[in-house]
Copies of this chain bind each other. A is one copy, B any other.
């Protein structure tokens, strides 16, 4: 059973996943995840992963393409969970700004709760050649597109200013998220509600169209 097959099984319900996959495959992923809490990917060796997993080193190459395959597997699992969660929250909200706020708060909350996920996405995966062609990056683009859609909807409904290209607004928001989370993730402190509130003040007072401003 290889990585591709695993990914498909992964899409099934979480309960089933954990049992459907070979135990050692999960142990390896869990081990790497645990290690990522304390070091970056490049300084974790295959030997260390398997030692932590209490599993034979060769199994990495049975279940994954290579060492990096384990990282992608972890990321992919997180992304799927993330996308589902976000999808549910957006549906509940009314109006583009509310949806956006849900989205951003959900995103930050996910990073806050799952540091390893945040680390991988913020630090590990970027300068890896080939990442931007990976399946996982496709998921990110899906996410990005749904944010674009919401902004677009907000522009059309008049909630969001229309003098700036939507893609740029989206990038601003994504940048805000990343910057808000970067330091806490690197230095390991939690992201306070105040910080997030301030992010919204700065973000929204900037992008909300003048006619809608309270003051």
Contacts and interface: CB of A to CB of B under 8 A. Distances in A.
Interface residues of A, number: 37
Interface in A185-207: 186-187, 189, 195, 198-199, 201-203, 205-207
A168 B205 contact: no
Interface in A169-215: 169, 171-172, 174-176, 178-180, 182-183, 186-187, 189, 195, 198-199, 201-203, 205-207, 210, 215
Nearest to A62: B47
Contact of A179 (B165, B183, B201): B183
A182 B122 CA distance: 11
A92 B135 CA distance: 49
A126 interface: yes
A1 interface: no
Number of this chain's copies in the assembly equals 4
A186 B182 contact: yes
Nearest to A202: B206
Nearest to A211: B215
Interface string A18-60: 0000000000000000000001101100000000000000000
B186 A127 contact: yes
* Secondary structure call for the A interface: helix
A13 interface: no
Contact of A175 (B123, B179, B205): B179
Nearest to A43: B42
B201 A164 contact: yes
Contacts of A176: 172, 175-176, 179
Given A168-B195, A176-B176, 19 more contacts: A42-B42, A42-B43, A123-B126, A163-B201, A164-B202, A165-B198, A169-B202, A171-B183, A172-B176, A172-B198, A175-B175, A176-B179, A178-B182, A179-B183, A182-B182, A182-B183, A198-B202, A205-B205, A205-B206
Minimum-distance CB pairs A-B, first 4: A175-B179, A206-B206, A179-B183, A202-B206
